[in-house]
Amino acid sequence: MAVDIGQLITGIAEALEVDPSAINPDSRSSDIEEWDSLGHISVMSYLDRTYNEITERVPDFASATSVQDIFDLLNQNV
């Protein structure tokens, strides 16, 4: 299953409750005010719902701090 970066950005934006235009592949958690510790939990929850509990199988998601990090991890593990 190939991961679409646009769908990932949309999903992260929804999880963080921000406009998708505020996020791009280079966005980092430090760039987005809503991507704080609670926001990170929301992003992880989105990933689990979308990719069959992937954060339980791949603990590296917990330390991913950018859209690109998440995209790369997904492409390596989906």
> pLDDT tens digit string along 38-57?
999 999 999 999 999 999 99
Specify which residues 66 forms β-bridges with: 28
We report the CATH number of the domain holding residue 56 as: 1.10.1200.10
For residue 4, the 8-state DSSP code is P
> pLDDT tens digit string along 63-78?
999 999 999 999 999 8
Distances (CA, A) of 74 to 10, 19, 69: 15, 22, 9
Reported as a pLDDT band with limits 50, 70 and 90, residue 2 is: confident
Q: Structure pTM?
A: 0.92
The total domain count for the chain is 1
Domain membership of residue 52 as a residue range: 5-77
Please say if the pLDDT value at position 1 is more than 80. Answer: no
